[in-house]
Amino acid sequence: MSTESNVLTAASADAAAPAPAAPAPAAPVADKLTKKALTADHPTWCPGCGDFAVLNIFYRVLEKLQYPHENIVCVAGIGCSSRFPYFMNTHGIHFIHGRALPLATGVSLSRPDLHVFVFGGDGDGFSIGGNHLNHAARKNVKLTYIIMDNFVYGLTKKQTSPTSPIGFKSKTDPTGAIDRPINPMRQLLASGATFIARTHAAQVKHMEAMFERAIKHDGFSVVECLSECVMFYASAFDDSTPRKGGVFETIDEAQHDVTDETAAFKMAENLTPGKFGVYYQVNRPTKNALEQKWIDDTQSKMNGMTPKDVLKKRLETMR
């Protein structure tokens, strides 16, 4: 056999041989979630506002939990505290006053893969949004609601809020408030929330623990966080602030059964200064799980029809 023939034969054999497999592409390495990655802008709150501490602790808890960055959603209504979505580099919505919870409910139900957080103040939560708070709590929607309670309407420069104490003098009550204030713990217990906690913006370790437990709870979790408004009600929480001569008393869970609703109601009778910690926590099916079961059961009866087919068939019957 000639030399040329040998070359052609070898070339033909090479062409027939399978190409060596290319190395598999390396799996993308997710960036670690850091405070820098979560920060969108410098907060515009007044110097000394308690909301700064709340924001920083929220950063810290998210850094610890390392949820996928793209799965974090922050929703808020109106008020100083409700400016959270502007300062967080996450999906964010600054919505109508008091209506943050209905919007967040829709996000949570339609995208169960997302971690939904709602932020608001005492006005957004207990006044104009009070009705929505009751229903989100009783339905046990899976989300976490942090209410920064400062006992005053600070954004609009000192009007009486639903948690202002009797006698508080403001632009709307120049001779002192006469209406009985809302007791947040008792209202949340009555509405059926499955995780209820109370903390203080000046007690950052305690606040961090409460946030983390609330976020990990499978259901509607709410934390009332006392957050001082240094401009319009600087003395509101003196009786629970040790550096101002007050007492910060935490709940001893060795003595308090967090599943005992009656005990939680009794403990909530006195909130001035009251106790701080988890008042109540129980497990109950979430609205998310119940709706998904309903959807799954319905689809199993559709004999392979898509939701679009069902809608088309229904519209045809309506002609």
Cβ 171 vs Cβ 157: under 8 Å: yes
Query: Cα torsion at 140, 145, 147, 153 (round to 10°)?
Result: -90
Q: Which is more confident, 206 or 319?
A: 206
| Cα–Cα nearest to 117, from 170, 173, 77 | 77
Residue 202: its pLDDT value, please? 96
Taking all residues of the chain, what is their mean pLDDT, rounded to a whole number? 92
β strands within 53-182, DSSP E: 72-76, 91-94, 115-121, 143-149, 152-153, 159-160
The model carries a pTM of: 0.87
Q: Tell me: the pLDDT tens digits for 149-168? A: 999 999 999 999 999 999 99
| Per-residue pLDDT at 276 exceeds 90 | yes
Q: How far, in Å, CA of 82 to CA of 61, rounded?
A: 19
Give residue 6's pLDDT: 47
pLDDT tens for 120-151 read 999 999 999 999 999 999 999 999 999 999 99
Q: 165-182: per-residue pLDDT in tens?
A: 999 999 999 999 999 999
Would you place residue 9 in the very low, low, confident or very high pLDDT band (cuts 50, 70, 90)? very low
Is residue 86 scored above 70 in pLDDT?
Answer: yes
Q: In terms of C-beta density within 10 A (0-12 exposed, 13-18 middle, 19 or more buried), how is residue 93 classed?
A: middle
Q: Which fold has domain 35-284?
A: Rossmann fold (3.40.50)
Q: Which amino acid is it at 234? A: A
pLDDT band with cut points at 50, 70 and 90 for residue 10: very low
Indicate whether 236 pLDDT > 90.
yes
Q: Shortest CA distance to 77 belongs to which of 53, 47, 97? A: 97
- For residue 29, what are the CA distances in angstroms to 26, 131, 169? 9, 44, 56
Per-residue pLDDT tens digits for 292-306 = 999 889 888 888 788
Find out whether the peptide bond into 273 is cis, omega within 30 degrees of 0.
Answer: yes
How much is the pLDDT for 28? 65
Distance of CA 256 to the CA centre of its chain: 25
What are the boundaries of each domain within the chain?
35-284
Q: Which residue has the higher pLDDT, 74 or 312?
A: 74
**Which ranges of 192-306 would DSSP assign to H, the alpha helix?**
204-216, 261-267, 287-300
Bigger pLDDT: 309 vs 137? 137
Instruction: Give the span between the Cα atoms of 124 and 126, in whole angstroms.
Output: 6
